[in-house]
Amino acid sequence: MKRFFKIAIELPIAAVILLLPVLICGLFGQFFTPHDATVINPSLALRPPSWLVGQGWAYTLGTDYLGRDVLSRVILGARATLIVSVVGVMCAGLIGVCIGLFSGFIGGRFDLIMMRLVDMQMSMPAILLALLISASLGAGLTAVIIVIAIVYWTQYARVVRGETLSIKQRDFVVMARVEGCSSGRILVKHIIPHVIDSAVVIATLQLGTAVMLEAALSFLGLGVQPPAVAWGKMIAEARLYIATAWWLPTFPGIAIMLTVLGANLSGDWLRDKLDPKLRQI
């Protein structure tokens, strides 16, 4: 825990700059939005950003086809992105780590079945699998979290299973068995601490892909539903106005791009910090 805290306070500046606004908007965005993001006012429809037409900062990023403030909707859209990506990746990690640990530690028929299941799922494109699951479960925030958990658990399972197979053959695990340690104690005390670093790195790298998957599902109408705000849904609603109101898809698209970039930068940095082969001396 102390090591992860030390790493957390050494996060790269670029990743912090990109992700901190998303975190703040996701947690506290409803308290500082300039306008009510759900109020419809047709008389204000499709107004360009105020700073472009010399009208001050009343509607900084303009309004959409229903007269709703784009800036307020972008701010509130961070909440759905934050909840779905973080909770979904955590659920995927929990499932994948548990299956990988037991598969590598127990071995035998259980390992064979689990790894063939992993192979089958990883042979399918992630977006196709996500669409099939979403169509079965229906749209909504909870459904998207379940989709992310089901789609992304396999990577954890495969990596953790491989590391477990290697670690359980090491001398300190063999000595623990000789001393009479139970299988549960060996897992908790000797194996999990050695595989947790890889799981954390995978989770950080998957945050970006989870954000893109949530945006894609919302764009297709299978993700977060109104009145909740989602960046992918905003882009989908702006398709008919992209030629005359460029700001409608641009700003939520930029929000998605910067969030994914920040997640990828933090994942790459964390991998370098936790991997002794890549760690700088």
The residue type of 65 is: Y
List the end-to-end C-alpha distance of the chain, in Å, as a whole number. 22
What is the distance between the alpha carbons of residues 126 and 130, in angstroms, rounded to a whole number?
6
Q: Are 269 and 29 in contact (CB under 8 A)?
A: no
> How far from 19 is each of 13, 23, 59, 256, 269, CA to CA, in Å?
10, 6, 24, 11, 14
Cis preceding linkage at 227, omega within 30: yes
Task: Give the pLDDT confidence score for residue 59 in this predicted structure.
Answer: 87
| Residue pLDDT, tens place only, 188-234 | 888 888 888 889 889 988 999 999 999 999 999 888 888 889 999 99
Q: Are 80 and 233 in contact (CB under 8 A)?
A: no
| Residue pLDDT, tens place only, 97-110 | 999 999 998 888 99
| Residue pLDDT, tens place only, 225-274 | 888 899 999 999 998 898 889 999 999 999 999 999 999 988 888 887 77
- Region of 49 (left: φ > 0; alpha: ψ -120 to 50; beta: rest) is beta
List, as one string, the DSSP characters of the chain.
-HHHHHHHTT--HHHHHHHHHHHHHHHHGGGT-SS-TT---GGGTTPPPHHHHT-TTTTTT-B-TTS-BHHHHHHHHHHHHHHHHHHHHHHHHHHHHHHHHHHHHH-HHHHHHHHHHHHHHHTS-HHHHHHHHHHHH-SSHHHHHHHHHHHHHHHHHHHHHHHHHHHTTSHHHHHHHHTT--HHHHIIIIIHHHHHHHHHHHHHHHHHHHHHHHHHHHHTTSSS-TTS--HHHHHHHTGGGTTT-THHHHHHHHHHHHHHHHHHHHHHHHHHHH-TTT---
- Domains in the chain and their CATH numbers? 2-274 (1.10.3720.10)
| Residue pLDDT, tens place only, 112-127 | 999 999 999 988 888 8
This prediction's pTM: 0.88
Task: Give the pLDDT confidence score for residue 194 in this predicted structure.
Answer: 87
What is the distance between the alpha carbons of residues 104 and 208, in angstroms, rounded to a whole number?
28
Q: 10 Å Cβ neighbour count for 161?
A: 25
What is the distance between the alpha carbons of residues 157 and 223, in angstroms, rounded to a whole number?
26
Task: Give the pLDDT confidence score for residue 13 in this predicted structure.
Answer: 84
